[in-house]
Structure 1
Amino acid sequence: MALTKIADVRILSDAEIEQNIQAVKRELFNLRLQQATGRLEKTHLFKHKRHYLGQLLTVERERQLNSASQPVEEE
Structure 2
Amino acid sequence: MNAGELRDKTPDQLRDELIRLKKENFNLRFQQATGQLENPARIRSARRDIARIKTILNQKAAQAAAE
Query: Does the alignment reach a TM-score above 0.5?
Result: yes
Q: Aligned to 1:33, which of 30, 39, 47? A: 30
Instruction: Please list the CA deviations of residues 21-49 of structure 1 after superposition, one character each: whole Å capped at 9, or x if unmatched.
Output: 00000000000100010000100101111
Q: Once the 2 structures are TM-superposed, how far is the Cα of residue 13 of structure 1 from its aligned partner?
A: 1.1
Runs (4+) off by over 3 Å: none
Partners of 1:11 and 1:68 in 2: CA distance? 19
With the length of structure 2 as denominator, give the TM-score of the two structures. Answer: 0.93
**AA in 1 matched with 2:46:** K
With the length of structure 1 as denominator, give the TM-score of the two structures. Answer: 0.84
Q: How does 1:24-63 map to 2 (within 5 A)?
A: 24-63=21-60
- In structure 2, list runs of 5 or more residues that go unmatched: none
Q: Aligned to 2:5, which of 4, 8, 26? A: 8
User: How many residue pairs were aligned?
Assistant: 67
Computing the radius of gyration from Cα coordinates, the structure with the larger value is 1
**AA in 2 matched with 1:12:** K
**AA in 2 matched with 1:53:** I
CA-based RMSD:
0.8
Partners of 2:2 and 2:21 in 1: CA distance? 16
Partners of 2:44 and 2:60 in 1: CA distance? 25
